[in-house]
Amino acid sequence: MARSISPDGARRAGLLAVVALLAVAIAGAGRRLRARGIGIFGRKAAGAAEEPTFSCACGAQYRVSGIDRHRVYWPLEASAAEPVMDDQCVACGTPLPEGPATIADQPAA
């Protein structure tokens, strides 16, 4: 005589499968975030590479994130919530780099 699975047993097995799937998804997301240098709650992970910097000809320095026209600049002393909202240096008005050249290609002041 074949034993059938009770409705409670089937429900329990389904819930365990969902929990296992969520655990795998969370672990994968954690690995991707750590690979990007992001730790818990969006903080930089220990040992993460520092953001590149840019120095304007006037001496103003910026932290930089992104590439090409998707770059975001922050004055060195500004918080992450205070990016430069214009495409010009906040000190002298010189246009900030936005083309395909990398920050490393820019002359340092």
Kindly report the number of other CB atoms within 10 A of residue 103's CB atom.
19
Instruction: Give the mean model confidence (pLDDT) for residues 25-31.
Output: 83
Higher-confidence residue of 69 and 39: namely 69
Q: SS3 letters for 37-102?
A: CECHHHCECCCCCCCCEEECCCCCEEEEECCHHHCEEEECCCCCCCCCCCCECCCCCCECCCCCCC
Domain ranges for the chain, please list them.
7-42, 50-109
- Ordered strands of the 72-75 beta sheet: 53-55, 61-65, 72-75
Q: Is the pLDDT of residue 38 over 80?
A: no
**DSSP state for residue 36 in the 8-state scheme:** T
pLDDT in tens, 57-108: 999 999 998 887 788 999 998 988 999 998 899 999 999 987 665 444 455 5
